[in-house]
Amino acid sequence: MVENISTAGEIKEAGLASQKLAINFLIRFYLVYKILKLYAENNELIQEQTELLFQDLQRLKETAGEVIFRIKRESIFFNQSRLKFSIANYPIFKFLLEEFRKKEIGQLIFYPELSKPELVKAMGIISQKRTSADPFVEIISELGNQGITGVGLEKIEAAEKLPSPEKSSARLFFLSILHLREISERNKENEKIKLNTTRRLIQSIFNHLIDNESFLMGLTNIKNHDEYTLNHSVNVCLLAIALGRRLGLSRAELVDLGIAAFFHDLGKIDTPLEILNKPGQLTEEERKIMELHPHQGAEKLIQLREFRRLPLSAIHVAMEHHIKEDLTGYPRYRIKNDINLYSRIVKVCDFFDAITTKRVYRKKVFTRAEALSLMLEYIGSEFNPLILKTFVQMMGVFPIGSLVLLNTGEIGLVVENNQESKFMLRPRVKIVVDSQGNKIDGEVVDLTEVDPEAKKYRRTIVKEINGEEYGLNAADYFLARVET
């Protein structure tokens, strides 16, 4: 009987099957790619995994005929169809996308005649770290030298090279600060506030956060002392959306949470600057005025003319973000015995951003890791345990923006946390001080990298350091990425 795929249903099914096989193949590809960085080609584990990779490839060929992977914008295509990755596989997909871009690989083709030994060799060449200006040419010539013909590569088109999402993320960050400033000024003059713009801004922040969370987390290191409340509000908004996402909130809920976080300190418009910026302890009288801001914020939000466009939770958050989990703090609720979920989320982010910011009245500025450790001391009394634990996990042992001393004597800035929890202590860091103590604009290194000869990690974190003592400012590095 001749096999004939004729109905639409059958065609769709065949498409789904090859889509699944292609994703499985890429997951295995990723595995081999990663372990090739740790072991030599003749290692047993490599042998075993490449055998499985080869088998996956055969299956893929049988189902789909040709095997071509292509990078297009933020997607990987298999033959003509865009691969849809599940959330669980998303980090793998992102990793491959980034690696291909870095190596300027636009297309990866597996020809029918490819043999297993050829595949192993090709994987070794492709996965090798490249630092030259022309990684693609290097890879192609190495494949040629080894006589590998079963794997073909096409260079990425100029338009597909990494755009600068960083630039637009940073623009959005500053735009949000400007927007909040405008709102504060309009509020003072009793003018109409554009809540539609706020919602659109927070929606964009949400989209950027999905695509490039590490960079946005980096931006929260920006601490503008003159416009503390504005800058702080945007930081809290970013942190709250990222945290809410891990707590399983939906997109619509996250946008509402973002708006609520953005407005949490709106009441401070009414707090006199002498009190807000007073160095040293506040008097009893001044403290009382300061503690009015939750109430004043809630009232302002209620009075907004476009009130109906505002999520109700924004009023809760303005009112409740200084109430502790054990219901102490301020303002005192006499009857109420439950705090809004969004208020609890904002409370954690608010506290973290506040104590990691230098202020005239604050004797000690906490590093990011110190702040997490201090907050954990108040788990259950000040903070909701589940929310705080999720926050700590999200930030990692060395949160993005931390400066770390390495065993090589270099100092690195944490720019991305490792997705795998066993590598929590091995984030990606940018070298900012070399082993001789010179400030440099060094490369970004992955602390999971192993020196194959010495069979140990190239670099390991010794401890976190306080940037201020070394004259280093984390925010400068994130902004530098925007300017270049």
Binding site for Fe ion (CB under 5 A): 265, 350
- Kindly state the smallest distance separating residue 300's Cβ from Fe ion, in Å: 13
- Kindly state the smallest distance separating residue 208's Cβ from Fe ion, in Å: 22
DSSP 398: S
Helix, strand, coil fractions of the chain, as percent rounded to 5: 55, 10, 35
The Cα 48–Cα 54 span in angstroms is 10
User: Which of residues 293 and 428 has its CB atom nearest to Fe ion in the complex?
Assistant: 293
Cα-to-chain-centroid distance, residue 85: 18
Q: Which amino acid is at 156?
A: I
Question: Within 13 Å and on the Cβ side, how many CA atoms surround 411?
Answer: 21
Q: Please provide the DSSP assignment of 103-134 as one string.
A: TTEEEEEE-TT--HHHHHHHHHHHHS---SS-
- Kindly state the smallest distance separating residue 467's Cβ from Fe ion, in Å: 23
Contacts 24+ apart (CB under 8 A), 26-32: 26/69, 26/76, 26/83, 26/92, 26/93, 26/96, 27/89, 27/92, 28/52, 28/53, 28/56, 29/53, 29/96, 29/123, 30/92, 30/95, 30/96, 32/123, 32/127
CB-based contact 312:259 (threshold 8 Å):
no
User: Which of residues 266 and 447 has its CB atom nearest to Fe ion in the complex?
Assistant: 266
Contacts with 316 (C-beta within 8 Å, 6 or more apart), sequence order: 260, 340, 342, 343
User: Which of residues 265 and 320 has its CB atom nearest to Fe ion in the complex?
Assistant: 265
User: Which of residues 125 and 234 has its CB atom nearest to Fe ion in the complex?
Assistant: 234
CB-based contact 120:40 (threshold 8 Å):
no
User: Which of residues 214 and 224 has its CB atom nearest to Fe ion in the complex?
Assistant: 224
DSSP 3-state assignment of 271?
Answer: coil
Q: Among 384, 343, 365, 315, which residue's Cα sits nearest to residue 467?
A: 365
- Kindly state the smallest distance separating residue 391's Cβ from Fe ion, in Å: 15
- Kindly state the smallest distance separating residue 267's Cβ from Fe ion, in Å: 8
- Kindly state the smallest distance separating residue 184's Cβ from Fe ion, in Å: 14
Which runs of E-coded beta strand occur in 21-66? none
- Kindly state the smallest distance separating residue 26's Cβ from Fe ion, in Å: 43
Question: What H or E segment, with its residue span, contains residue 464?
Answer: strand 461-465
Alpha carbon dihedral 198, 204, 206, 211, in 10-degree steps, equals: -170
User: Which of residues 22 and 388 has its CB atom nearest to Fe ion in the complex?
Assistant: 388
User: Which of residues 350 and 464 has its CB atom nearest to Fe ion in the complex?
Assistant: 350
- Kindly state the smallest distance separating residue 295's Cβ from Fe ion, in Å: 11
User: Which of residues 325 and 350 has its CB atom nearest to Fe ion in the complex?
Assistant: 350
CB-based contact 260:317 (threshold 8 Å):
yes
User: Which of residues 31 and 365 has its CB atom nearest to Fe ion in the complex?
Assistant: 365
- Kindly state the smallest distance separating residue 368's Cβ from Fe ion, in Å: 17
- The answer, yes or no, to whether the previous bond of 311 is cis (omega within 30 of 0) is no
User: Which of residues 18 and 271 has its CB atom nearest to Fe ion in the complex?
Assistant: 271
DSSP 3-state assignment of 412?
Answer: strand
CB-based contact 401:221 (threshold 8 Å):
yes
User: Which of residues 129 and 225 has its CB atom nearest to Fe ion in the complex?
Assistant: 225
- Kindly state the smallest distance separating residue 351's Cβ from Fe ion, in Å: 8
User: Which of residues 53 and 348 has its CB atom nearest to Fe ion in the complex?
Assistant: 348
| Beta-strand pair 450-451/444-446 | unpaired
Cα-to-chain-centroid distance, residue 458: 24
- Kindly state the smallest distance separating residue 213's Cβ from Fe ion, in Å: 22
- Kindly state the smallest distance separating residue 268's Cβ from Fe ion, in Å: 7
DSSP 279: S
Q: Please provide the DSSP assignment of 126-177 as one string.
A: HHS---SS-HHHHHHHHHHHTT--SEEEEEPPGGGS---HHHHHHHHHHHHH
